[in-house]
Structure formats: structure tokens, C-alpha cells
Amino acid sequence: MCDMNVIETPFSCERNGLQIRGRQYVPGGEQKNKKYPVIIVSHGFTGNYISVEDYCRAFARMGYAAFGFNFCGGGKMDEDISFKSDGASTKSTIFTEVEDLIAVKDYVKELPFADEKNLILAGVSQGGLVSGLAAAKCKEEIKKLIMIYPALCIPDHARRGRLGGSRYDVNHVPEIIDCKVTRLGKVFHDSVVSMDVFLELSAYKGPVLILQGLKDEIVNYSYAIQAKETYEKGQCHLQLIRDAGHGFNKIQKNCAVASIKQFLLGHKELLTVRLIVTKKELVTDDGYRKSRIYFTGYCDTECFHGTVLPGGCDTQEYDQEKLTKERAEYTLQGVDMEGEMCSLYVVNQKVGEEWKPVIETNSKNLLWLNNADLTAILEESKEGPVVRIFGQLA
């Protein structure tokens, strides 16, 4: 057990005689007869369940039963064979992986501690695409869908002869496609080369969250924008992340998990404030340190459009290098959703492990913000922090 708050155990199930191996993550202090909502997390190309264990553990700490698994034929060629699921990489396709995921879903539904009416699919990269396709196939069985930098580019890569980083002639596709760390069969190419990925995804009608880096060197963010437009209005929330590539660093992953938590709670991203740092001040005195970071910025959301007035300030106090207090204050001025001029005064402070902003506004259309329970997530960026404020719509 790697986390006192999470119980980890291996599991296995079958799909057409092939053994699927994985690991389950259940909240610590499991209660008898308690049923947990379930999140099944799918790994990316050449990945395995270890590559998504950070997400699984985070979800278990939130109170979900999380499951990571290895796709049949997935992983790298040099991995321990006993660790892998059965099946040859040259026989795998996006659609055999969809079948693997559905087999895991069917297995999980029968577990005594799983709430079969609260099943959520999540996936990274190729696993994100597979999760989206599985949700489209399972429809109402899946309560919510989370796609993290999903590889929606795969059909286009096949059309260009670039699957898995390889290069081949699309007019003479080889029987074995060499991707260096693994090999694909021609069947993979043939199964996706004519796919309309957005049409396939659109069959799912439940809530969708897409997290996509703006500096993704493998999947251009335009695919995520097109996916959002493919779903029905208001169905999909797309979160574009500055400085993030194809794979998140530790800080970006923590922010992603925090945003996913808000999505799972049913909270909406009400305000997105992109800050621009203008000046920094530092005062020190015998182990005590206070820094002031001044900023401006802008907000462009459905609720409000406007700018941060000069004088916005984040104050941080340290005692012997330990952060003891942090508080940000700023005023936004602009127009609300009805086009009426207004201002929003924001005070953002840490309460426990979360940022809890308090807002005062003179907008009659946004007065409910004055008493709203809000949570903020701070995304660091070279261009300046992004503050995402979540809550329930009035």
C-alpha cells in the first residue's frame, strides 16, 4: 500500500479469452456494504496502468473506487510479460481497446462495493480517445466523461502515414508498422483511416470535460476545440491550459486533478481570470518575509467580460521560510452577461488546502455571487497565473 488513505490491490478480467491486468484503488477505511462511485482510467499509447496511478490515487482520495489497467497488446516491447495484459500489439486497434475498456466496465459493475449507476470514464491521450468512444457506445451507462489531452488526431495521423510516430507510405501500408518502442499491425491503420472521430464521439450525451495543453506538440489544441463544438451546447467544458504539452508536469497534474474534482462535484467554471504581473516587492526582517505581487489581467467568460484594474495584489507572508499567510485582492471591471457595466471585488484566501474566493459585485444579474460558495484553482504559467473560479450557477 503506497498511501494510507488508499487501498491498492491487483485485479484481472477477460475479453475474448485474453487476460486484462490492472490495479484497483479504493478509499482507505473501506466500510462494509458501502458502494463507491467508480472511475476507470485508461492509459495512453505505449503506457500502462502505472502511468495513470497518480490520477487513480487522487480519485480514491476523493472517495471514488478507481481502476487502471493495461490494454491488450498495449505497453512497450521491453516490458515484463507478466506485467502486461494478454494479446499482441500487432493485433490491437483503437476498437479492441474500446472492447477492453467495456470488459473492465462490465467486471467493475459486478463488484459489491461499486455503484454501477455512477460509472465515470477517464483517459489520457490515446486512452482519452478510447474513453470517448466507449462512452459513445455505452451511452447512458456512463455518468460522466473526462478526456485528458485526448489523441483525437489519430485518424489524421493514419491518413498521413504517421501512426505512433512512425513514417510509412499510405498507398502501401506495411503489414507491421514499426513505432520503435512497439509495433502496430496494418489492421490498426485500416480501422481508423476513414474514421470521422468527432461524429463517433457525439453519440455520448452526458457531461464531458476536456483538459488540453496549448503547447501540445502531438495533439494540436484545435482538435479539442472541434470536439467541444461537436458535443451539444453546454454539454462539454473545455479547459485550455497554458504552457502544458502532451503530458502534464507535477504542478499541472495537481491543477488538472483539482479541476476534475470540481467537474465531478457538478461545479461550473464561472470566471477565468488571466493575470499579468506588473511589479514585485519584497520586505525581509530576521526570518520574516513579506512579498507583494502586483498584477492586472482580464476575464472573458459567459458570466462576465472585463479587466483587472491596476492595484491588484497578491500578498505572501513567510516565517522562517514557511508560508503563513497568502491573500489576493483585486477588482474586475467590465460587463455582465446582459451587457450591463459592473465591477467584481475579489478576495481570495487559502482555507485548508483550497482557495476560497469571496466576491462582491454591484451587478444585479450576478448578485448571487455575493453569497456563493466558490473554489479557485491557480494554474502557473510563464505568461502569468490563470485563476479559475468554480461554483454552482444560480
Separation CA 379–CA 386 (nearest Å): 5
- In the numeric block, the cell 483539482 is attached to 258
Task: Write down the H helix ranges in 71-211.
Answer: 94-109, 126-138, 154-159, 186-192, 197-201
Separation CA 378–CA 126 (nearest Å): 27
The helix (run of H) or strand (run of E) holding residue 61 is helix 53-61
pLDDT at 31 (0 to 100)? 67
359 within 8 A of 344, measured Cβ to Cβ: yes
For residue 392, what is the DSSP state? Answer: -
- The number of residues making up the chain comes to 394
Q: Which cell is 170 given? A: 499510405
Summarised one tens digit per residue, pLDDT across range 16-46 is 999 999 999 999 875 667 899 999 999 999 9
Angle between helices 250-264 and 53-61 (to 10 degrees): 40
Burial class (CB in 10 A: 0-12, 13-18, 19+), 35: middle
Burial class (CB in 10 A: 0-12, 13-18, 19+), 294: middle
pLDDT at 287 (0 to 100)? 82
- Distances from the Cα of 299 to the Cα of 209, 259, 303, 344, angstroms: 21, 18, 10, 11
Fold of 6-266: Rossmann fold (3.40.50)
Domain 271-391 has CATH 2.40.160.20: yes
pLDDT at 324 (0 to 100)? 85
Q: Is-above-0.75 flag for pTM? A: yes
Of 99, 227, 93, 110, residue with least CA distance to 163 = 93
Q: How many CB atoms lie within 10 A of CB 132?
A: 30
Every domain of the chain and the residues it spans: 6-266, 271-391
Of 65, 75, 83, residue with least CA distance to 27 = 65
271 within 8 A of 303, measured Cβ to Cβ: yes
In 198-267, beta strands by DSSP E: 208-213, 236-241
Angle between helices 94-109 and 126-138 (to 10 degrees): 60
What is the block-wise mean pLDDT of the chain (394 residues), using blocks of 10 residues? 79 97 89 88 96 97 97 90 92 98 98 96 98 98 98 98 97 97 97 98 98 97 98 97 95 96 97 95 88 95 96 91 89 97 96 92 97 95 92 86
Q: Is 257 helix (H, G, I), strand (E, B) or coil?
A: helix
Separation CA 341–CA 334 (nearest Å): 6
Separation CA 157–CA 189 (nearest Å): 9
pLDDT at 1 (0 to 100)? 40
